[in-house]
Structure 1
Amino acid sequence: MKKKLIFSAALVLSLGLAGCGADSSKDDKPKEETKTTASTDKTADKETKSDDVYFKDNEVKIEDLKIKITETKVIPVGEKGNEYGDKPVFAIWYETTNLSDKDIDPTSGWIAVFTAIQDNNPNAVNELEVGSLPDDRFSSSQIEKIKKDGTVENAIAYNLDDLETPVTLVAKKGLMGEELGKQDYPVK
C-alpha cells in the first residue's frame, strides 16, 4: 500500500514537470540582434538547443533539471533491494539536480523524464513497471523537494520480463516532451 501511495504521489507531482521541455522559441522576449545571416542563425540555434538539453553518457539535462545515472544492476528475487518482488529488477541509482525554482523531487523528476523498455515483444512496446524501492536509504527522501541548484540521490527499480533483453531508457523533455535519446543497459 505504501509503495502505491508513494508512486501515486510522485506521478501527480511529475505532472507539474510536463512542461519542463517547453519550446523556448515561443518566448515573448526580444531576441538579441546579430550581424549574421539567417542560415548561420539557424545553425547556432540548433547547436545551443542541443547543448542545453540532452541525454548522453548516463546524464540527461532538460530546462528544469539534470539527472546523472551513477549505478545500475540487476537484483534477483529475494536479494537485498528486491526482497518482496516476484521478478528480478533492474535497479538504477541516480542524482537529481533542480535547475529551477519549481517543486521537484527525485522520484517525480525521474518519472517525468524516463521510460524503461525491454524490447522483447514483436508486436507492442513493452514498458517496464516500476518495482519496489531498491535502496531503503531513500525511503524517506525520495519525494522531498530539492532546493534550486541542489542535488539529491535516489534509486528506482523496474520489474524485468527476462534476463536476456537489454533495458532501454528513453529520455524525454518532461512527460509530454519530445524524445531526447535512448541508451541500452545490459541485464546480464
Structure 2
Amino acid sequence: MTKSNEKELSVEQREGLFKALKTRFEKNMHRHQGVEWANVQARLEANAEKLWSLHEMESTGGEPDVVGHEQGQYIFYDCSTESPKGRRSVCYDREALEARKKHQPENNAIDMATAMGIELLTEEQYRALQQLEHFDKKTSSWVQTPSDIRELGGALFCDYRYGHVFLYHNGASSYYAARGFRGSLKV
C-alpha cells in the first residue's frame, strides 16, 4: 500500500486505474444498470482522494466496481471473485492483533481499510453484493461487527457456499490464508 500521506496518483497511475475501472465497468453492466461511465469518471476526476482509495483497492486485488448510485454518489465495492489477495491473513482489528502473543499476522482488517480510506462491508452490503453475482466461493471476508459481539472478543465474516450466503463468527484475533475483507467506497 502507498503511504497515507502520499494520496496523489501519478499521471501513469491515474491513466492505468481509469483504464482498468472503465474496462471492468463495461464488462459488468449488470452491476450498475442505468449508470453511465462518463458520469462516474467525471465524479472520480473531481475527487482525487477517492481516486487514491480506489487505486489502493485495485492494487490489493479488490477489483472495485460501481454497484450502486444514491444521493449523488457512486458506490464502489470490491468485486474480485475471491476475497482480495492483498488483504488476506489478517485478524479483525488492532485490539485483536495486539492480543495475539504468538504468530501475529502482519496487519488487521480495520486498520488496513482505514488506511485505504474505505470501510468494511456490512453483512447487509455483503448480501446485496451476492445478489449481483456470487463471490467468495473458496474464501471468506470479514464484515463489520456489532460492538456487543466485538466486546466479547468475537468478529463476523461471510462467504458463499451451497447456494447461500453464510454469516459466521470467530475470535477477532483469528486469521486464515483464505480470509480477507471486502471494502466499500462512496464517491
**TM-score interval, smaller chain:** under 0.3
Choose 1 or 2 for highest CA Rg: 1
Q: Which has the higher helix share?
A: 2
